[in-house]
Amino acid sequence: MKFKKITGLIAATFTPFDSNNQVDLKIIPQYKNLLAHNNIKGAFICGTTGESSSTSFEEKKQVIDAWAKCQEDNFKVIAMVSGTNQKEGIALAKASAEAKIYGISLNAPYYFKTATVRQLVDFIKPIAAAAPDQAVYFYHIPVLTHVHLNMLEFLDIAGKEIENFAGIKYTHNDLMEFNRCLRVEHGKYDILWGWDETCLAGLAMGAKGAVGSTYNFAAPLYNDILAAFQSGDMEKAKKLQELSIDFISLYAKYGGAAAGKAIMSMVGLDCGSFRAPIKTLDSIETQALHTALEALGFFDFASSLPQI
């Protein structure tokens, strides 16, 4: 593999919207500074958290161009360019290549689904070819795509046929398959853990890098989990992971995905609301969420904006 493996945390970023529900690009430099200040190693943009299914082609391209200006050697930008539309994926891959971001990602088509690994690789190949110098990651998230394909078979075929294939963003709970993917060809591929509330489990199975939405606003917590795990203090790592589990468990009560953007505002960066059909929290719900987070001690581990 010609791409160096990612270690540490990559934030799956929100797409910021203004009060008129339009993409707010001016926030992105400050957003990048927030992430870098909290030891986040990059941004995974236009993905599930970035509302890829609710944003237009032109909006995605604008977001890619804006984040590309934040690309640095120690801060990688990866854009999700496709989910269902191969032609749009090719166009966004070309835009990503022109913007010179580090990588692109795609998930399995989730409307007309790929029934076999062969179909999935054939869907991805022309998109990957449109960004030949970018690392290509498959975004495996069967809980949303409902595409349950064997990732070992996928690595075997994609690794042979896609020259710039780097690995998988693995957002699934099959720890046995995840570990086996890590060990393919003596660890050839970059397999990134994608389930925040089980980050410790991913580390225990061999993960070195992870991508997640809650790293946006709770990076110190997860960096402490990483540090505790690496030092062998499993009891501390488990207690910190339990805090992650507890605050993520609040999502179901306080707006689901919308809770994430509400928490971003609480740590100092207003990314606006989610687009329909996701429900926006009202002021009473937001205050109740804040109170619940305080009761957990969440803000002792929350991300902070750099001092100007």
The pLDDT, as a whole number, for residue 171 is: 98
211 is in an annotated binding site: yes
Pick the CATH number of 8-233 from 3.20.20.70, 2.60.40.420, 3.30.460.10, 3.40.50.1860: 3.20.20.70
DSSP the chain: --SPPP-EEEEEPPPPB-TTS-B-GGGHHHHHHHHHHTT--EEEESSTTTTGGGS-HHHHHHHHHHHHTT-BTTBEEEEEEESS-HHHHHHHHHHHHHHT-SEEEEE--TTTT--SHHHHHHHHHHHHHTSTTSEEEEEE-HHHH-----HHHHHHHHHHH-TTEEEEEE-SS-HHHHHHHHTGGGT-SEEEE--GGGHHHHHHTT--EEEESTHHHHHHHHHHHHHHHHHT-HHHHHHHHHHHHHHHGGGGTTTTTHHHHHHHHHTT-----PPTTSPPP-HHHHHHHHHHHHHHTGGGS---PPP-
Mean pLDDT, 10 residues at a time, the chain of 308 residues: 91 97 97 98 97 96 98 97 95 98 97 97 98 98 97 98 98 98 98 98 98 98 98 98 98 91 97 92 96 98 90
| Structural domain spans, the chain | 8-233
Model pLDDT, residue 256: 87
Q: Which of 41, 60, 169, 261 is catalytic?
A: 169
pLDDT value for 129? 98
The answer on whether 15 is annotated among ligand-binding residues is: no
- Is this prediction's pTM over 0.75? yes
- Residue 1: its pLDDT value, please? 54
pLDDT value for 276: 92
State the catalytic residue, choosing from 31, 102, 139, 189.
139
Q: Establish whether 238 is a catalytic residue.
A: no
Active site residue 169: yes
What pLDDT sits at residue 83?
A: 85
pLDDT of residue 82: 92
**How much is the pLDDT for 255?**
83
